[in-house]
Amino acid sequence: MMQNIETIPSPDLFELYKDGIESKTVVIIDILRATSTIVWAFENGINHIKPVLHGEEALKERENGYLAAAERNGQMVEKFDMGNSPKSYDREYIEGKKVALTTTNGTVACHLASSAKRVLIGSFLNLDAVVKEVQNDKNDVLLFCAGWKGKYNLEDTLFAGAVASSCAKEFEIEDDATYAAMDLWHIAKGDLRAYLNKASHVKRFKRLGNHADLAFCVQQNITDIVPEFKNNTIQ
């Protein structure tokens, strides 16, 4: 039987996709910025990130040798070692370290999906590697867009469309959210950054002075690493 692929447009719709998740591979997508930053951190020598739901949990993990990272509403939170910007995850700062991370959308999605057979971390930085991984493992796939506070967003949808487009020949697709994502990717892929300039999160993001992070997060295939969430940690 062909592998099946579906797109979850928002964590608030996750309940509708839970049936049979134990046999599926879920790809967590939070392009701006949690999953891009996590992938970048692994590329730079980290091998252990614990996604937690609350800031206090992250701070408490300092006792166990973790750096504590927190983002809320697109900004780093005071008292923490770092936020959610890939800039904070350069090799000289994080190589060999462990990080406990909480973010507005992405880390929530990780925990929601934890009963899946596999939970992979996807971003444009490791796009082709994610595609190869889901093609090889033969499981049905859920592309899980973290969105923005429950709302649909363009950047996560486009990544879902990019993965689905690469898999369209081998996979069975009967899901409108995936069809829509593929068509949007087709429009956007020629100049992803220009296309995203109209996205609501991107506008919010620029108001916070995060232009450089946007340019960083739309880079494609700068690593082959696909971090995986299992036993409560991304490794």
- Residue numbers at the binding site for its own copies (CB under 8 A): 9-10, 12-13, 15-16, 148-154, 157, 174-177, 179-180, 183-184, 187, 198-201, 203
Judged by beta carbon, residue 80 or residue 205, the one nearer its own copies is: 205
Judged by beta carbon, residue 73 or residue 200, the one nearer its own copies is: 200
229 in Cβ contact with 121 (< 8 Å)? yes
* Closest CB 233 distance from its own copies, rounded Å: 30
Judged by beta carbon, residue 78 or residue 174, the one nearer its own copies is: 174
**Left (φ > 0), alpha (ψ -120 to 50) or beta: where does 161 sit?**
alpha
Burial of 209 by CB count in 10 Å (0-12 exposed, 13-18 middle, 19+ buried)? exposed
The two structure tokens encoding residue 3: 């592998």
* CA distances, 101 to each of 22, 66, 211 (Å): 25, 10, 22
Judged by beta carbon, residue 20 or residue 65, the one nearer its own copies is: 20
196 in Cβ contact with 214 (< 8 Å)? yes
Judged by beta carbon, residue 13 or residue 76, the one nearer its own copies is: 13
* Closest CB 64 distance from its own copies, rounded Å: 36
Alpha-helical runs (H) found in 44-175 = 55-60, 91-94, 106-112, 127-137, 154-167
* Closest CB 74 distance from its own copies, rounded Å: 15
Angle between helices 154-167 and 176-188 (to 10 degrees): 100
* Closest CB 215 distance from its own copies, rounded Å: 19
* Closest CB 191 distance from its own copies, rounded Å: 14
The two structure tokens encoding residue 188: 């956007």
